[in-house]
Chain A
Amino acid sequence: MNSDEKFEQLKQNVNAEDGWSGVIVGGSLSDGLEVRLSSESSIEGVKVGRLVTIEGKTHRFFGQVSDVILESSDRNLSIYSEEISEGIMAKVATGTAAYGKIKVQPKLSIKTSDTSSSPQSAKTVPPHFSKVAVSAHSDIELIFGKEAPGKFWIGSPLDMESKLCLDINEFTKRSNGVFGKSGTGKTFLTRLLLAGILQSGKAVNLVFDMHSEYGWQGYSETENHQVKGLKQLFPSKVAIFSLDEEHSKRRGLTPDYVVRIGYKEIEPEDVEILRESLSLSPQAADAAHSLYRHYGKNWLLEFLNTSGTESFNSLASQINVNQGALSTLHRRLSGFSRYEFMDTTSVHDSVNQILRYLDRGINVVLEFGKYGRDTDAYILVANLLTRRIYERYAEHKERALSGIGDEPTPLVITIEEAHKYLTPELANQTIFGTIAREMRKYNVTILIVDQRPSQIDEEVMSQLGTKLVCLLDNNKDVDSVLSGVSGQRKLRSVLSSLDSRQQALVFGHALPMPVEIRVRDYGTPESYKSLGFTDPTNKKDLSQINQDKSDLFG
């Protein structure tokens, strides 16, 4: 049985067990349509968020169940409920005097006769008594597209086995976000998105892999085993850079490049972004700028080498900075010296190395190893590298615009813990804020993976093209991901009813309508195979076994 046949079968099973259908009996475009369920329908089979198809007269409409309601046509039903709650009468009353109603939000429509184009957003509603039923596999394909190059299967609509696909080209046109509280599957979903982008060839990834789980070996909590990283699935298309070589080696990985950061590469802006986590006063952070003006590129090392009260006092007066602020700054920045990736001597080549790979269309995952536990280190490095890569992309793009050379391959930069440096205070100052607000001006977008969206700058949030949101239970976080989205109230109820893992509400630029999905499985041999991975070790095993056999039996 091929997978399509399997899907057909599964779909039928679903329909047979908790099948339902209904007819439109009222409602409006803005408030949603009221659908009376047929008396054979099982109301327990209806789930909020379910995609439905409505056959209008000339148009087919697509929508989503937004509410399930128990209705009765008899106002006194509750008075004699006891009398009729048993035997034949209960069955008679079910579906007649007491019936199920659902609310459906119409989202898209397409002319029934139109077989070539894709559905547009619904501007009217189907007439009374139009039939409503669960969307079929073919409807899902019509709305979201078929799995194909550039159309990446990310999961299935809830309670359906159809493959729901994301248009990677549209997706990478803007910055995007993956949100959800801890343990809901953000990392797994992001890894899939990265694989989709990688496979499509529409863009190339740079991943700041905080917990070393994207490139080489992730870990599945529920299955208690390791899952493959991108490098293991697509060895020729992924390079792993490491900030902590020892850590990488311990995990059986020889990194393609070990990243070093020179003190000279650190700019006052990098201190600014760490202001909060280093608990620096505004004056102290400003002092970094003064030092930069005073010493030039080598400011940090010069500053850190300053010691003794006297030299401090004279430095303070020279650059006209409060002495207390200066010594606080000194104390905090001294912490950098514990970072083994920091280098006093040379200016390093990490940025060029990264760009060299990206230019060849090879995705780069930077593992942080032990520094992943140190948010300061993560922010420092991610910010510093991104700033310089972005500058290079901007130059590259400007050159291309003036007719010299090709445009750079679109770049997607994946970052975690964005709420620590895309706060309202910092979003204007950091490179990530700039990129998020720019909509791929220089072919660079970011993919934010975060659990506290409410702490991210509102403007940045509103500029995100597509959001993939796993369960969030903090109201502020829910508000922030849904702000500016139409039909918020309904999406809110959908969002709060998600499972605690591996389910997400996906909406925004890359999709014609919001949809609740069960995220595609990742971590099983089948899942790797479906991503195009053929296990070379397996073949080796096989030939080895054959060899052993022939050795043994001649």
Chain B
Amino acid sequence: MPQYETVIGLEVHIELKTRSKIFCNSTTEFGGEPNTHVCPVCLGLPGVLPVVNKKVVEYAIRAALALNCEIAEFSKFDRKNYYYPDMPKNYQISQYDLPIAQHGCLEIDTENGPRKIGITRLHMEEDTGKLVHQGTITTTPFSLVDYNRAGVPLIEIVSEPDLRSPEEARQYIEKMRAIILYTGVSDCKMEEGSLRCDANISVRPMGMEGLGTKTEIKNLNSFKSLLKSLSYEVERQIETLEEGGRIIQETRTWDEAKGVTLSMRSKEQAHDYRYLPDPDLVPMEIDRNWVDDIRRSLPELPDERKERYVEEYGLPAYDAAILTNTKELADYFEVCVKAWPNPKAVSNWIMGDLTRLLNSSGQEITGCKIAPENLASLLRLIDKGTISGKIAKNVFEEMFTSGRDAESIVKEKGLLQISDESAIIAIVDEVLAKNPGPVDDFKAGKERALGFLVGQVMKASKGKANPEMVNKLLREKL
């Protein structure tokens, strides 16, 4: 059986976080009773005139610059015609031959090191309404339409067919999401549909130059379904070819419940969108000064920030990548390091205990009750030997639930580490007297017995004894 290579290109739709829709002043607020966030423009009533929301163009440029795209000098909107009731006009306003941006790229980390993935284009368009089916899609005789989302601004970002595995596709989306979140133009919530993804996928015998016949998979609304559906489709295509079959160019949908991709055979397959320039919207000449202003207002992006963390803080690349994955986590880290300049210790606590507690309680870093300055003071207490590392974990959990600062918790609960030699000696003597067996073992050369004795002393001190001193004093006594 020949080796096959997978070729994937992704189309990502991202909802922009503007207040009003792209061509009218209806709200973009999520939810809302059906058909209440609408006006004559987004309902496509006769005689209305759409006007472009300037913020949408600004956000599109902002995202495009963060993705290393070239911004067009001249751009326009076109009508994409199709007969489907998710749009009341029977066309969607999108961009065809003169998109706002082209020729970008982003970098992903693969097994074989970092790789640049090309971005073909980025364009603006309006979102569609939602179709609601009563009962199951096959039994209901009609569909219900809610136009609240119709006209919400989107950018569509089309990649080159540069991705070579489902895992690389996942990496690409995660990186894209991280970058866009940094720019602040979208909240990129896959589960709420503000980041959606379609995939073009084909396989070809290893070494072949051209591309195999591709299929398009729609309806990918989580990282998990992206990975699973692409893996399924790779296998399906290879199996089909191995059995002497051929791949049909078609759109397939991911069935999450069955774990398979299914063909969407319908007349809609006859893609013939008959794009034409929208005569209601006038062209845009993008002012270079405007583009420069937007470029200057971009924050430090994940890749640069990651590099800086390795150089400036001496962190391992792994830590740096995780900390800089979201702007909020990186900001938290930096405030903390400012107050307690021990980057690796701060990184360990953030990536370890803090992340664990955030995940288990389903919280975001922005809602975290532990202020970064408070985490810094906890670390200072550990470093000064005021509390033991073990006690610190309990204090940390208390801080996480109550939001109180470390010092007051330590004081109130009497958790100060015992570093007074005479106090520790008293406990050590008691433990030695109670455990003649392990004492003899240790004297007979069994090092492990010491660990047991240390544990007993720590237990007797309720975890408050300074472990280093316990170790030292035990050795001296023995």
Q: Does A associate with B in a complex?
A: no
Q: Which residues of A contact B (CB under 8 A)?
A: none
